[in-house]
Structure 1
Amino acid sequence: MRTTLFWFRNDLRLHDQRALQRAAAHAIAHSQRLLLVYVHEPAQNEATAWGFRRMGQHRRRFVADTLHELQASLHALGQQLVLLHGAVADVMPACARHFAADTVFGEDIAAPEEQAQVQALRDAGLTVHTVWQSSLLEPEALPFDVTEMPQVFTVFRQRIEAAGLQPLPPLPAPVQLPAPPEALTTLPGWTADAATLLQAHTQDAAHERANFPYTQAHCRGGESSALAHLQNYLTPPWPDRYKQTRNALQGRHTSSHWSPWLATGAVSARTVWAALQAYEQQHGANDGTYWLWFELLWRDNFRFLHRQMGRQLYAARGLSRLPAPSHFPKDFQRWCSGNTGEPIVDAGMRELAATGFTSNRMRQIVASYLVHDLCCDWRAGAAWFESQLVDFDVCSNQGNWLYVSGRGTDPRVGRRFNPVKQTQDHDPQGRYQKVWLQS
């Protein structure tokens, strides 16, 4: 019997899973088995050009927990999640040959490396169907072609709001799936469990001081934690206060903290939006709930910007005409380790290294300091965030670093955050610094 392949990427969930549902429908229509695969590439274990491991310990643990739960959920449906270690271009065609498959379904991700993976599968002779499902809004529904999208976010947002666009309702999780093929453990690169696959240690790196303690049950990776947290946060008064509290440097409910689960795809943006709308219908809309929509639109903007500009977003000059950035490796290392001598910056960088998380305001402060005060290459900073952040998202990370460095879509051409003023505004009594600068 032939097989349909489904490739989990950054969509590690069962609810609102259009790509998986299309793969299941294809398998049923052609009387095929359905093989579900997740691939961890060796490149994630290797050192970057900047001298550190590409995927750090925090994200490894969070993704491993997410995969572990997904395996259990699929098992309840009579399916299995096959974990493979190896380059996508090698292990996926090997799977196809082993199980007589010629068709692959998976999520469409607009970033260059992810697009290159898809092309490698097509070059290997496979038919690949990619499904766009990570954004709040559908590209085809936008009031402009993505290739002509306004790059300034305010114009982007105003045109969307003027058109009255609404996201599609999320899909329910499937109640059954086609059966898997047999003898899955014979596949090249097969790995027994997610912790082994990702080399995720079991030590609890996050602790009680963390803004996002991902080793604790309420913040653990996985679909059930994501959905539980969504409902927990959407309880008065937290959403109503979001606009006023979102720039706080610490606090469990000062921000939504949806980003780690959105990054792994354990929850979809459309599911978040549907829950937010239900909250507004029950408790009323206000500045806080509007600002949550505002931030989800920013996330969409960076995704559509990747569809529009592609590899140009990864060039040294970005979208600008600025000269290539300078770089000072010793200053960069001091920044990474939180030893710049600027207290607010050092506190933020130490929190990031210790917990894999820091607030959005702190990310802006430390990114600005690296680019505008230390005059280092923004791409090194983006790579460090990729390595360290538990909620790393390729589109948002690249878009935000370009924005802060003045090489993206900011009409002000770069934003320097004065660390002294930022300290006065957001940590005037030094409480945050005391937490993270203590020995």
Structure 2
Amino acid sequence: MGKSRELIELDLEKGAHNYHPVEVVLTRAKGSFLWDVEGRRYIDMMGAYSTASLGHCHPKIIRSLVRQARKLDVTSRAFYNDQLPTWLDDLTRLAGADKALPMNSGAEAVETAIKLARKWGETVKGIPTDRSEIIGCEGNFHGRTLGLISLSTEPQYRANFGPLLPGMRTVPYGNLRALEKAITPRTAAFIIEPIQGEAGIRVPPPGYLAKARELCRRHNVLFIADEIQCGLARTGRLFCYEHDGIQPDLVILGKALGGGVYPVSAVVGRGDVLGVFKPGDHGSTFGGNAIAAAVSQTALKLLSDPALIARADRLGQWAQAYLRKHLANASVVRDIRGKGLLIGVEVAPEIGARPLVEALKEEGVLTKDSHEVVIRLAPPLNIRKKHLRQALEAVTKVVQKARAAPA
């Protein structure tokens, strides 16, 4: 039994089976590359669900992590620390926001936004106590807490976990008429991913986000953008919602916010909305700790570089054009879509994306399937073009081979 197999078997024996990973055991990473325990190198086209947007073990990120860890670590929010205030200033300035609230995981940040929306709904909008409603979109993925699966339309995420949170409604993604019909006087907020990642890199119709934003404004409903996966330069804009020229009331960030090495998330937005929280309403022992703030401050400087953002946009357009050209005759391909370096290749259901992902591993490319039929392509934003080309050549080869697969 090889070392990889031995470690996988130990994981399966001792760990809960709540994931189904691609069978590769990683031990080292650098930039756009990952190495397994047998020493084989892979091109990372997964980017840790956009967490590794700056590549792996970025030297400036690592220096910030080590420097701060040696100086001041976690003291809890019982005290101020000297890193959090400047991080809050940087983040709010970049987002054009008034205030920010730091958390750790993306799911925690979404829960935070929903709590904010509910309290704002009752104390500011005047929704009767315990009657607030939150509207989300079909196919959403905001996290797996009890509150967030209550908004999910994925049967597996909900089954056997009831009773679920009341007041959570969903409408078809990209359907403005359905959203308008769903809004009632009790609606506190509408939450949306500007691009749905887990649903298969789904992009709404042009102009939809701007119209939905205006609809929310007209009905005094908070517009919340979940940019945990699609934000922070991933789509060729610092924030994905910028493609539509809008400003949400609240923006949820995570993943890349921690530079790929530390869990950092945040809700940023209007001061009057975040201002509804009073001491004791909400919190996190680790949220806003000195290490998190120092690492994230460095990550923000790197991610907000106009050259990096423009390059992500340019490379993304080139990558989609490459795939469309070289997969034009691939009968199994149903769609190629995305923005920037967040791209999905949808294949026929009878083929499925998982076998293609496994085949890509054998070609030295690592990624993951989304929604069973989509190959996710989300490499580090600073990947070299020649390595991106190599990965796309592998994708083309694997997908073209699937043409002969039986239905």
Q: Normalised by the size of structure 1, how large is the TM-score?
A: 0.32
Q: Give the number of the structure whose residues are more often helix, by fraction.
A: 1
Higher relative contact order (CA 8 A, sep 6+): 2
- Report the structure, 1 or 2, having the larger strand content: 2
